[in-house]
Chains A and B, each alone.
Chain A
Amino acid sequence: MATIPHDHIELSLENSLDHCIKCNICTAACPVSAVTDLFPGPKYVGPQAQRFRKPGQPTPDESVDYCSGCRVCNEVCPTGVRVMELNTRAKAAIVEQNGVPLRTWLLGYQYLFGKLACGPLAPLANVGARNPLLRMLVERTVKIARNAPLPTFSTYSFRSWFKKRPKQQAAPTKKKQVVYFHGCSTEYYEPRVGQAAVEVLERNGFEVILAKQGCCGLPLLSNGAFKPARSHHEYNVEQLLPYAQQGIPIVGTSTSCTLTLKEEAPELLGMHETAVRLVSENTYDIFEFLRMLHQRGELNTNFKPLNRTMPYHAPCQLRAHNLGRPALDILELVPGLQLNESNAACCGLAGSYGYKAEKYQIAMDVGAGLFEFVRASGSDTAVCDSEICRWQIAHGSGLTMRHPIEILRQAYGDE
């Protein structure tokens, strides 16, 4: 309330429960409660249960753990209740009471596996990660679903590619610099996404800076492990702040990493310092950034025709940015290219949700309609901005998945 400035932001989050008029629109839209009775729905675990929660008492509820965090509830709520945030803080209270489970540590620090396995030994690691016996053992011991789609370790890391490439020309002005936030998946699993991003940015005359960076911490954050998530965010803010202070945009290809930098970490963790805010304000999804360029008439639109029609899924983590569909806005400039939007609520995986043994089937059921949509398209390739969703859709449908930046890179052709 007014007397303590930062409380205003805090209250807008937790006190948003007061805006609930019990209308059930969120429950009707929730992709998880549509497929399982184990989740009572966003109204129940969100604003309703919040009236029974109090710091210092034992956490009264566990069903909130079945919230996948996909934010469809926030998207549809007509009165502005921050349901996902209420749920995540409730999960954090459970973690605070019971400690961080081993599985959350493993999911939260999966980038350490990336660090170890990415490189020349990747093929070996990939065989291991796909060994049914090993996966069954892992499922039995730490409850990570044996069939959940693990990404493929890359034989080279994105940063090693970036370092080895011929030196690019430095930008003439700071205005033509961008910091690229690649995230863990581009670094260890899909360096091709980062390569495409760097090349697209360079085709638009930008010097791409590769700042030091760590995991955004979202896998920890969304599982309620707030303490380690906070140190991850503090590290990234420290690394990115000097650029933000100079007004150099921070651009990312992972919609979940950029959402974390922009909003999730500051709001959920109650980090409202100026540094955090500056980094947040200077962070962009790559297509959001390209669309801004286009709006200013600065986008290189010298596209070659791509005569293709492909399905496109706007991930929930992108929709939470409240940007519309920036990838579609840009890719529709490419002659001959047509992307058909899935309009599906969620692929089901929702970060780390679908990796949990008890939630794997729920995640697959949530995604079923989407899988069917992409299969029915007849295309061999589908497009999606978020890596986790790409892995899940590939797993559920068998299609090859691409980040829209890879498609845009193709449209620029070879020089």
Chain B
Amino acid sequence: MQTINTDVLVIGGGATGVGVLRDLALRGIRAVLVEKGDLTHGTSGRYHGLLHSGGRYVVKDPQSATECAHENEVLRRIMPHCLEDTGGLFVVTPADDESYADRFVAGCRATSVPVNEISVREALRREPLLNPRISRVFEVRDGSADSFLAAHVNAEDAVRHGAQVCTYHVVKALMREGDRITGAVCENMRTGEDVHIHTSYIVNAAGAWAGKIAELAKVKVTVVPGKGTMVAMNHRVLNTVVNRCKMPADGDIIVPIRTVAVIGTTDVHVPDPDVFGIEAWEVERMLSEGEQLVPGISRARVLRAWAGVRPLYKDQDVADDRDIPRTYKLLDHETRDGVKGMISIVGGKWTTYRMMAQEAVDAVAQKLGVQAECRTHLEPLPNIGDWGQGKPVTSGQAVRPLTSTADLPPPAYFWMGEPLAHVEAADSYGNLICECELVTRDRVVQAITTGRASNIDDIRRDTRLGMGPCQGGFCTYRAVALWNEFKRGTLPAPSQAAASGGEPEPASHSVALLRHFLQERWKGLTAITWGDQLRQARLDEIIYLDTLGLDLLPAPTPTDQNAPEMVTAHPAIATEYHAM
């Protein structure tokens, strides 16, 4: 058993959790983050990537709109390398109620969301595939965000400031002395070992899982897991975020993010955030609604469908999950439930993660008697990728302390061609492991050797490996070979494996890695396998089943499945891989 002593334990490795961790670290508070999967394993790694202007909520949820508009500007200054400045449009299609447009504009004014009406002709000049029958168009400051990279840079900066990140650590129980929570019993899922973390304070930032964590403290937090299914098109059908100008509903937005355009989303109440599937009607709905924005889009190649669960906090009864406010809520369990030592930060949007973190840490700092003020809006996040116009920033270089975001340098956003420009500049096209997403050998090796990865899916979250059109068809075996090459030293020696009666470890471990990642990719293909993507799936099948005979190779034993690095068979996350 391992014991860790810290001041604050953050539960949850999504956008909010890493945001909280960084805020704590920048204020000099000792902190540890635990996450039962990889960073962004939950909702943060499964959303459409919208940097909200606030426009979506100006009528329905004004407070959320104002929060988004404020944070939009802050994030543009502190993490431009994680954002693309796509701009956003709200368009009135023939299917939409025309009277909403005026309410929309009034709402923008009331909530300080910058808006500007442009002509239909101008909108079609910018986005030629847009439905030419739209009647009004409003320009807003939407953008798109790489939520994987954003979480990594937050975590990295926190670690640089002394924080600790423990992925694949599941919280089994909370320690309690009287009415005070004093720590958590976690399991290191890689080793099966228990880790006792003693802490003065716990921040429950588990998102859709926050209710489950609260239960461990015997308090009730009603988080409604609102499943949203998204469909990614094979290429950037649009280069601007386009929203329907109407009350938020299914399939009313297309977000251009990195190499794809994502149509989102549905909103379906699910009982358990760990168990959900993608239904055929959801994919159909996305495509048919997408037709209103881009006629013909349903005939274009679909790359993948996936779903994430919104962490909607419900403190009163509403008829429809869509009516639950998108604002966040800080719950002080001491005043609310008489349980000391823990707060929960629930609800909210990716766009408001930093603000949520700030509010949570303000509360914790007050409890701990720490005077330091929040600096997460003033300190740019480091650039840990090997590309980026954004210059690496080392904190503390400023001659005078920054007092507002206006003091920060002008944003150097990610731009769509950047990965290609980088490969071209380095002449590294001969060294691509994932050709679709231009992931070089160096980046994969770096993720294997220095990152927190436990399997190829974690490498994907670090590098975008396998996220392109072929969905792992050509990169999976290459990545597994590198894994074998660079991790062999950490595997049990063959003699040990033989002693325990198993097959030689490396080979069957490779089979396990291959099967896991391919299964993971396949999961997102089953709902959309037609046309070009069906052809692709067939080729991938030929590679892995007909040529490599992956289904005929010795089945990985449970030992392999639970091989130290892979983790994916652990009950705490396994359901996700066996969902419908």
Residues of A whose CB lies within 8 Å of any CB of B are 1-4, 7, 11, 15, 17-23, 37, 40, 43-44, 48-63, 79
> Which of B294, B299, B469 has the most chain A CB within a 10 Å cutoff?
B469
Q: Which of B209-217, B339-347, B366-374, B411-419 sits within the interface?
A: B411-419
Q: How far is the CA of A49 from the CA of B297 in the complex (A)?
A: 21
Within 8 A of A (CB), among B216-270: 234-236, 239, 259
Q: Is the CB of B102 closer than 8 A to any CB of chain A?
A: no
5 residue pairs bridging A and B, Cβ less than 8 Å apart: A3-B296, A48-B436, A54-B239, A55-B239, A60-B416
Q: Is the CB of B421 closer than 8 A to any CB of chain A?
A: yes
Q: How far is the CB of B542 from chain A (nearest CB, A)?
A: 10
Q: Is the CB of B435 closer than 8 A to any CB of chain A?
A: yes
Q: Is the CB of B474 closer than 8 A to any CB of chain A?
A: yes
Q: Is the CB of B470 closer than 8 A to any CB of chain A?
A: yes
Contacts A51-B236, A60-B417, A60-B418 given; does A40 touch B429 at CB 8 Å: yes
Tell me which of A22, A37, A52, A58 contacts B430 (CB under 8 A).
Answer: A37
Contacts A1-B129, A22-B473 given; does A57 touch B417 at CB 8 Å: yes
Q: Is the CB of B177 closer than 8 A to any CB of chain A?
A: no
10 closest A-B pairs by beta carbon, nearest first, are A1-B296, A60-B417, A18-B301, A52-B420, A60-B421, A40-B429, A60-B420, A22-B470, A51-B259, A21-B536
**Complex contacts, A19 vs chain B, CB 8 Å:** 301, 532
**Complex contacts, B435 vs chain A, CB 8 Å:** 22, 43-44, 48
Q: Tell me whether A2 and B295 are in contact (CB under 8 A).
A: yes
Tell me which of B235, B419, B539 contacts A50 (CB under 8 A).
Answer: B235
**Complex contacts, A40 vs chain B, CB 8 Å:** 429-430
Other 15 A-B pairs with CB < 8 A, given A37-B430, A60-B421, A61-B421: A1-B295, A2-B295, A18-B300, A18-B532, A21-B532, A21-B539, A43-B435, A44-B429, A48-B438, A51-B259, A52-B259, A54-B416, A57-B415, A60-B424, A62-B424
Chain A, residue nearest B538 (CB):
A21
Q: Tell me whether B417 and A1 are in contact (CB under 8 A).
A: no
Q: How far is the CB of A45 from chain B (nearest CB, A)?
A: 9
Q: How far is the CB of B99 from chain A (nearest CB, A)?
A: 25
Tell me which of B420, B430, B469 contacts A20 (CB under 8 A).
Answer: B469
**Complex contacts, B416 vs chain A, CB 8 Å:** 52-54, 57, 60
Q: Tell me whether B424 and A79 are in contact (CB under 8 A).
A: no
Residues of B whose CB lies within 8 Å of any CB of A are 128-129, 131-133, 234-236, 239, 259, 294-297, 299-301, 415-421, 424, 429-430, 432, 435-436, 438, 468-470, 473-474, 532, 535-536, 539
Q: How far is the CB of A25 from chain B (nearest CB, A)?
A: 11
Q: How far is the CA of A202 from the CA of B468 in the complex (A)?
A: 57
Chain B, residue nearest A54 (CB):
B416
Interface Cβ pair total, 8 Å cutoff: 102
**Complex contacts, A51 vs chain B, CB 8 Å:** 234-236, 259, 436, 468-469
**Complex contacts, B295 vs chain A, CB 8 Å:** 1-3
Contacts A22-B474, A23-B539 given; does A1 touch B294 at CB 8 Å: yes
Q: Tell me whether B300 and A15 are in contact (CB under 8 A).
A: yes
Chain A, residue nearest B536 (CB):
A21
**Complex contacts, B469 vs chain A, CB 8 Å:** 18, 20-22, 51
Q: How far is the CA of A394 from the CA of B430 in the complex (A)?
A: 34
**Complex contacts, A22 vs chain B, CB 8 Å:** 435-436, 469-470, 473-474, 536, 539
Q: How far is the CB of A13 from chain B (nearest CB, A)?
A: 14
Q: How far is the CB of B434 from chain A (nearest CB, A)?
A: 10
**Complex contacts, B234 vs chain A, CB 8 Å:** 17-18, 51
Chain B, residue nearest A4 (CB):
B132
Q: How far is the CA of A22 from the CA of B468 in the complex (A)?
A: 10
Q: Tell me whether A53 and B417 are in contact (CB under 8 A).
A: yes
Chain A, residue nearest B302 (CB):
A18
Q: Tell me whether A54 and B417 are in contact (CB under 8 A).
A: yes
Chain B, residue nearest A79 (CB):
B535
**Complex contacts, A58 vs chain B, CB 8 Å:** 415, 417, 421
Q: How far is the CA of A383 from the CA of B474 in the complex (A)?
A: 42
**Complex contacts, B473 vs chain A, CB 8 Å:** 21-22
Q: How far is the CB of B275 from chain A (nearest CB, A)?
A: 33
Q: Tell me whether A63 and B429 are in contact (CB under 8 A).
A: yes
**Complex contacts, A79 vs chain B, CB 8 Å:** 532, 535
Q: Tell me whether B420 and A61 are in contact (CB under 8 A).
A: yes
**Complex contacts, A18 vs chain B, CB 8 Å:** 234-235, 300-301, 469, 532
> Which of A1, A49, A51, A61 has the most chain B CB within a 10 Å cutoff?
A51
Q: How far is the CA of A49 from the CA of B128 in the complex (A)?
A: 21
Q: How far is the CB of A37 from chain B (nearest CB, A)?
A: 7
Q: How far is the CA of A48 from the CA of B437 in the complex (A)?
A: 8
Chain B, residue nearest A56 (CB):
B239
**Complex contacts, B420 vs chain A, CB 8 Å:** 49, 52-53, 60-61
Q: How far is the CA of A58 from the CA of B535 in the complex (A)?
A: 33
Q: How far is the CB of A9 from chain B (nearest CB, A)?
A: 14
Tell me which of A7, A21, A54, A63 contacts B424 (CB under 8 A).
Answer: A63
Chain A, residue nearest B299 (CB):
A1
Q: Tell me whether B129 and A21 are in contact (CB under 8 A).
A: no
> Which of B235, B300, B470, B532 has the most chain A CB within a 10 Å cutoff?
B235
**Complex contacts, B299 vs chain A, CB 8 Å:** 1
**Complex contacts, A2 vs chain B, CB 8 Å:** 295-296
Chain A, residue nearest B415 (CB):
A57
**Complex contacts, A61 vs chain B, CB 8 Å:** 417, 420-421, 424
Q: How far is the CA of A51 from the CA of B424 in the complex (A)?
A: 15
**Complex contacts, A11 vs chain B, CB 8 Å:** 296
Q: Tell me whether A17 and B417 are in contact (CB under 8 A).
A: no
Chain A, residue nearest B260 (CB):
A51
Chain A, residue nearest B303 (CB):
A18
**Complex contacts, B132 vs chain A, CB 8 Å:** 3-4
Chain B, residue nearest A47 (CB):
B469
Q: How far is the CB of A131 from chain B (nearest CB, A)?
A: 37
Q: How far is the CB of B294 from chain A (nearest CB, A)?
A: 7
Q: Tell me whether A59 and B417 are in contact (CB under 8 A).
A: yes
Q: How far is the CB of A219 from chain B (nearest CB, A)?
A: 26
**Complex contacts, B133 vs chain A, CB 8 Å:** 3
**Complex contacts, B128 vs chain A, CB 8 Å:** 7
**Complex contacts, A48 vs chain B, CB 8 Å:** 435-436, 438
Q: How far is the CA of A179 from the CA of B170 in the complex (A)?
A: 80
Q: How far is the CB of B354 from chain A (nearest CB, A)?
A: 28
Q: How far is the CA of A40 from the CA of B301 in the complex (A)?
A: 25
Q: How far is the CA of A17 from the CA of B132 in the complex (A)?
A: 24
**Complex contacts, A43 vs chain B, CB 8 Å:** 435
Tell me which of B236, B301, B429 contacts A54 (CB under 8 A).
Answer: B236
Q: How far is the CA of A241 from the CA of B259 in the complex (A)?
A: 43
Chain B, residue nearest A41 (CB):
B429
Q: How far is the CA of A278 from the CA of B235 in the complex (A)?
A: 34
**Complex contacts, B417 vs chain A, CB 8 Å:** 52-54, 57-61
Q: How far is the CA of A49 from the CA of B422 in the complex (A)?
A: 12
Q: How far is the CA of A58 from the CA of B259 in the complex (A)?
A: 16
Q: How far is the CA of A100 from the CA of B418 in the complex (A)?
A: 24
Chain B, residue nearest A19 (CB):
B532
Q: How far is the CB of B134 from chain A (nearest CB, A)?
A: 11
**Complex contacts, B300 vs chain A, CB 8 Å:** 15, 18
Q: How far is the CB of A130 from chain B (nearest CB, A)?
A: 37
Q: Tell me whether B429 and A52 are in contact (CB under 8 A).
A: no
